[in-house]
Amino acid sequence: MNRNNRLTFAVLATGAGVFSMMQSLVAPALPTIQHALHTSQATSTWVMTAYLLSASVFTPILGRVGDLVGKKRTMVGALAALTVGCLLAALAPNIGVLIVARVVQGIGGALFPLSFGIIRDEFPGHRVSPSISNLSAVIAAGGGVGIVAAGPIVGALDYRWLFWLPTAVVAVTALIALRYVPESPNRGSGHVNWAGAVLLSSWLVALLLPLSQATSWGWGSAKVIGLLIAAVVLFGAWALVEARAKSPLIDLRVMRLPAVWTTNTAALLFGAGMYAVWSYLPAFLQTPSAAGYGFGSSVTGAGLLMLPMLVAMFAAGVVSGRIEPVVGAKPLLTAGAALGAASCAILALWHAQQWQIAVAAGVFGLGIGLAFASMANLIVQNVPAAQTGAATGMNANIRTIGGSIGAALMTSLVTGSLQPSGLPYESGYTHGFTLLACLCLAAALAALLVPAGRRALVTRVAAQPAAQRVDEPAAR
């Protein structure tokens, strides 16, 4: 890798890593934010929900925009939006402004697909897979850094520094990107299908909103049921519009490629387990021991017990880039999901000692590192160069949808029955971790269905009429 490629990678890793960190950095500080801004717990949860919805909408749309108008240009815009969002959040005088700031921050979700696309376009062929694996390791580790760093930052400074620090980092990154990152030469043809974009946004919001709010609204409430029905209807309308569009936002023929849909299925199931563990393992650690389990850890103490996960996921992501050319991405994805299942099984069966939690966290970190890197490589290797942004954006979105489903299911199990003290019963956590183990195991089984070759269906696609043809992925 030459000097320019190293600088480009550093910019991509910094931007994507900070955005990933922002996903989890705020969660441990929600009680502090709630108290400081004099709001209710239900309202403060919108700080997370707004970010989730915004990122889900902008990630695939701006990924496609980058494919059409230029990945560098779009990436700089996403970095600028993330900077503005962080600055607005740091200065927010009330919860309403903070929620708006989180919506603006969510635009940065486009950094994931744009970064993968720039690597594919700009790096030498033999460096693409290792670089994607390394970037995936940074993205995965970013989420872990957020969990670990939130407590010390809030304790030593103030919750507003959760936003001040990223503001400075992202602003500098945007300036360096503008000056030094080259514009990718590969461009898609056509235009942005805005009808498809509106319908995609609509069904994503209609799906994710009730999943994230079902605990407070009630699973049987009219709002939850109505929105889920609307999501199904809007999804059908979106699929119909995309199938008929001359320039679809998300080419459904690419989504139907065996290597793509099987990888996305694994991403959905593994995402359910991963985000639920990130959300509920710290809560388990912070439960007072008077409940019959838990350790009464502080936010900082719980973050430190998650440190083995952070170290393991980064190490596994980097190592996977070295061995993927030899063993292939499919075995790595299968192994990663299987390790996730083993970790959740450990948490369900053995969680009385802190060292048991640390071991389980480390095993899960290995699984995340392998799975993240291999998912990204499988998508990039099996889609046309002009579809890289949209396809990797949808993969990230599907993982987020899985995370919302997993978190919603875990919430129902953990909070479905409470002790007189108001704390969850231990059985809620054990049943929840058992379910997550099953979801990760299902992800491993889905990974086994991924075709062994790098360019599945290329011969069939090549046989299509020219007007209907999906371009063959770029040769390595």
Q: 35 exposed, middle or buried (CB, 10 Å; 0-12, 13-18, 19+)?
A: exposed
Give me the pLDDT at residue 68, please. 84
**If you search the block for the tokens 């009464």, which residue do you land on?**
296
Query: Rounded distance, CA 60 to CA 114, Å?
Result: 10
Where would I find the H helices in 70-109? 71-91, 95-106
According to DSSP, the residues that pair with 424 across neighbouring strands are: 418
The more confident residue out of 187 and 287 is 287
Query: Rounded distance, CA 194 to CA 359, Å?
Result: 47
Any residues with CB less than 8 A from the CB of 258 and at least 6 apart, and which?
A: 449, 450, 451, 456, 457
Residue 424 DSSP class: B
Question: What DSSP string runs through 12-31?
Answer: HHHHHHHHHHHHHHSGGGHH
378 within 8 A of 451, measured Cβ to Cβ = no
Give me the pLDDT at residue 464, please. 44
Give the tens place of pLDDT for each residue, 438-468.
Answer: 999 999 999 999 997 654 443 333 334 333 4
Residue 257 DSSP class: S
Buried b (16+ CB within 10 A) or exposed e, 5-15: beebbebbbbb
Confidence of residue 57 (pLDDT cuts 50, 70, 90): confident
Specify the length of the chain in residues.
476
Q: 124 exposed, middle or buried (CB, 10 Å; 0-12, 13-18, 19+)?
A: exposed
Confidence of residue 171 (pLDDT cuts 50, 70, 90): very high
Residue extents of the structural domains in the chain: 3-192+247-468, 193-246
393 within 8 A of 62, measured Cβ to Cβ = yes
Give the tens place of pLDDT for each residue, 277-290.
Answer: 988 888 899 899 88
Give the tens place of pLDDT for each residue, 304-315.
Answer: 888 899 899 889
Query: Rounded distance, CA 365 to CA 313, Å?
Result: 4
| CATH of range 3-192+247-468; options 3.40.50.1820, 1.10.645.10, 1.20.1250.20, 3.40.1710.10 | 1.20.1250.20
CA–CA distances in Å: residue 279 to residues 47, 221, 326, 345:
15, 24, 35, 17
Residue 297 DSSP class: -
Give the tens place of pLDDT for each residue, 68-120.
Answer: 888 999 999 999 999 999 999 999 999 999 999 999 999 998 998 899 889 98
Confidence of residue 63 (pLDDT cuts 50, 70, 90): confident
Question: What DSSP string runs through 313-345?
Answer: HHHHHHHHHHHHHHH-HHHHHHHHHHHHHHHHH
158 within 8 A of 92, measured Cβ to Cβ = no
Confidence of residue 214 (pLDDT cuts 50, 70, 90): confident
Any residues with CB less than 8 A from the CB of 210 and at least 6 apart, and which?
A: 217, 223, 224, 227, 228, 231
Question: What DSSP string runs through 261-275?
Answer: HHHHHHHHHHHHHHH
The chain-wide mean pLDDT, for the chain, equals 86
Inform me whether the pLDDT recorded for 20 exceeds 80: yes
Confidence of residue 1 (pLDDT cuts 50, 70, 90): low
Inform me whether the pLDDT recorded for 374 exceeds 70: yes
**Beta carbons within 10 angstroms of residue 389's beta carbon:** 35
Residue 302's H or E segment, with its range, is helix 299-305
**Beta carbons within 10 angstroms of residue 143's beta carbon:** 24
The more confident residue out of 41 and 317 is 317
Confidence of residue 168 (pLDDT cuts 50, 70, 90): very high
Rounded to an integer, the average pLDDT of 170-199 is: 84
Rounded to an integer, the average pLDDT of 145-168 is: 89
Any residues with CB less than 8 A from the CB of 177 and at least 6 apart, and which?
A: 11, 15, 72, 75, 76, 79
Which of 82-86, 174-178, 183-187, 364-368 bottoms out in mean pLDDT, i.e. has the lowest? 183-187
Give the tens place of pLDDT for each residue, 45-54.
Answer: 788 888 888 8
Rounded to an integer, the average pLDDT of 133-161 is: 86
Prediction pTM value: 0.83
Confidence of residue 189 (pLDDT cuts 50, 70, 90): low
Give me the pLDDT at residue 411, please. 83
**If you search the block for the tokens 């499919």, which residue do you land on?**
330
Give the tokens for residue 289: 């021991």
102 within 8 A of 385, measured Cβ to Cβ = no
State the Cα angle at 328 between 436 and 374, rounded to 5°: 40
The more confident residue out of 333 and 392 is 333
Confidence of residue 469 (pLDDT cuts 50, 70, 90): very low
Inform me whether the pLDDT recorded for 4 exceeds 90: no
Q: Would you call 396 helix, strand, or coil by DSSP?
A: helix
Query: Rounded distance, CA 164 to CA 159, Å?
Result: 9
437 within 8 A of 406, measured Cβ to Cβ = no
The more confident residue out of 215 and 353 is 353
Give the tens place of pLDDT for each residue, 418-440.
Answer: 888 888 899 999 999 999 999 99
Inform me whether the pLDDT recorded for 470 exceeds 50: no
Query: Rounded distance, CA 335 to CA 40, Å?
Result: 42
Give me the pLDDT at residue 175, please. 95
